[in-house]
């Protein structure tokens, strides 16, 4: 493996976001890159220039919210965000008030700034950019003061509505449920049945967690350490012959996965 290739793969591992809705595929491609000793086939060439289906789901979310803002909510049964129909998302908001309108506007701005369909769209986090909302303190302050009571890894936890809006990421694995939670919180439902999951917050609830623990155990075995759980022979096959460079990269990837999801039991 060339030094430049090893450094590029190391960079991919460092930048890996395990909360991303395509995280499992990204891990597979990084494992492939380690096995091949380069990234041309294993990562950079992974997709054609077409929009992922999730992009249209994010667009549906924006269309639904903009319909509520405009008051023109016809045909919302045709738009889905994950398993949630547009009418269900609109029902979570109920009646329109000025502060709700402002909060939903902020949520739309957040989603647009994260979408490739709205180049140039900007979003300034409510929590960390008070100067951007100086003219809207009457809306910002109550949004900061509104507290959602949920859980983190099963333990009671809290976050403000402002934090939830700021951290509603379309590319997150739990986006549809996060969106519904935030809309219900805007409407005053501050004790959700399911917790808000974003970045490392409640990452262990990600459905890919069990398989990622298997990948981590397999990487540990490849590196010559006890697997501490079931392994995937297919991953070992992709990694191929053991080399010092591969071992170092496999150990780095294993550490990142284990930090996020814990070890297999």
- Let me know whether 72 and 120 are in one domain: yes
pLDDT in tens, 165-175: 999 999 999 99
pLDDT score of 14 more than 70: yes
- Let me know whether 22 and 135 are in one domain: no
* Total structural domains within the chain: 2
- Let me know whether 57 and 164 are in one domain: yes
Q: Which of 204, 234, 252 is the last residue of a domain?
A: 204
Q: Which of 204, 232, 249 is the last residue of a domain?
A: 204
User: Which two tokens mark 43?
Assistant: 């990562």
User: Which two tokens mark 1?
Assistant: 């493996």
Top-confidence residue, 55 or 58: 58
| pLDDT > 70 in the chain, percent | 95
State the Cα–Cα distance between residues 242 and 35, nearest whole angstrom: 9
pLDDT score of 179 more than 60: yes
User: Which two tokens mark 130?
Assistant: 């008070």
- Let me know whether 12 and 73 are in one domain: no
Q: How far is CA 83 from CA 61, 89, 175, 210, in A?
A: 12, 11, 11, 23
- Let me know whether 29 and 147 are in one domain: no
State the Cα–Cα distance between residues 69 and 259, nearest whole angstrom: 41
User: Which two tokens mark 163?
Assistant: 């934090």
pLDDT in tens, 224-265: 998 878 999 999 999 999 999 999 999 999 999 999 998 766
- Let me know whether 195 and 142 are in one domain: yes
- Let me know whether 162 and 103 are in one domain: yes
- Let me know whether 244 and 143 are in one domain: no
pLDDT in tens, 108-142: 999 999 988 899 999 999 999 999 999 999 999 99
User: Which two tokens mark 35?
Assistant: 């096995």
pLDDT in tens, 182-215: 999 999 999 999 999 999 999 999 999 999 999 9
- Let me know whether 197 and 243 are in one domain: no
Q: How confident is the model at residue 50 (pLDDT cuts 50, 70, 90)?
A: low
Q: Domain of residue 191: give its range.
A: 53-204
Q: Which of 177, 204, 231 is the last residue of a domain?
A: 204
Which among 196, 194, 189 is positioned nearest to 175, based on CA atoms? 196
- Let me know whether 42 and 13 are in one domain: yes
- Let me know whether 94 and 110 are in one domain: yes
- Let me know whether 192 and 112 are in one domain: yes
């Amino acid at each position: 493996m060339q030094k430049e290739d090893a450094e590029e793969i190391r960079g991919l591992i460092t930048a890996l976001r395990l909360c991303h809705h395509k995280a499992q595929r990204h891990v597979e491609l990084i494992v492939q890159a380690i096995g091949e000793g380069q990234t041309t086939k294993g990562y950079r060439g992974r997709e054609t220039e077409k929009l992922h289906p999730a992009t249209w789901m994010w667009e549906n979310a924006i269309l639904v919210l903009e319909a509520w803002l405009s008051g023109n909510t016809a045909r919302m049964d045709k738009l889905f965000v994950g398993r949630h129909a547009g009418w269900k998302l609109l029902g979570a908001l109920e009646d329109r008030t000025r502060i709700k309108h402002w909060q939903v506007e902020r949520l739309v701005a957040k989603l647009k700034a994260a979408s490739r369909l709205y180049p140039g769209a900007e979003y300034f986090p409510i929590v960390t950019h008070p100067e951007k909302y100086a003219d809207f303190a009457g809306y910002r302050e109550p949004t900061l003061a509104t507290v959602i009571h949920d859980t983190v890894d099963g333990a009671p936890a809290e976050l403000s509505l402002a934090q939830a809006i700021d951290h509603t990421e379309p590319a997150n694995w739990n986006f549809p449920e996060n969106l519904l939670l935030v809309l219900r919180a805007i409407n005053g439902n501050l004790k959700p049945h399911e917790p808000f999951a974003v970045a490392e917050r409640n990452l262990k609830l990600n459905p890919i967690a069990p398989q990622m623990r298997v990948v981590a155990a397999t990487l540990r075995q490849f590196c010559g350490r006890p697997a501490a759980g079931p392994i995937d022979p297919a991953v070992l096959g992709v990694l191929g012959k053991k080399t010092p460079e591969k071992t170092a990269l496999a150990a780095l990837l294993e550490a990142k996965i284990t930090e996020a999801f814990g070890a297999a039991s």
